[in-house]
């Protein structure tokens, strides 16, 4: 693994679907220079994986606790992954 890059997975709980959370996450991740994806999950959560500098990932995590304006985030679970995926850009998945 490149020592200056990490990959994390986040699961965001609360009112996070139907409030432009995925689009806002993509915008924030691209602004921070991160790659990865974000998707809605059947249980009402949003799941994302992102790769990049530890500092940028921390900023994305801090942002996720608030999310976009109409979101009501209750909890963010963060898990550091062991290896990089080599994502090409940051995308929204269904």
Active-site amino acid positions = 22, 40
| CA–CA distances in Å: residue 64 to residues 2, 6, 35, 40, 86 | 25, 17, 16, 14, 22
Cβ atoms of residues 47 and 79 within 8 Å: no
């Amino acid at each position: 693994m490149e020592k200056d890059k990490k990959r994390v997975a986040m699961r965001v709980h609360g009112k996070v679907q139907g409030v432009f959370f995925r689009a806002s996450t993509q915008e924030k991740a691209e602004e921070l220079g991160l790659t990865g994806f974000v998707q809605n999950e059947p249980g009402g959560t949003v799941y994302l994986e992102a790769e990049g500098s530890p500092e940028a990932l921390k900023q994305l995590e801090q942002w996720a606790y608030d999310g976009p304006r109409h979101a009501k985030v209750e909890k963010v679970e963060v898990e550091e992954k062991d290896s990089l995926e080599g994502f090409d850009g940051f995308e929204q998945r269904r």
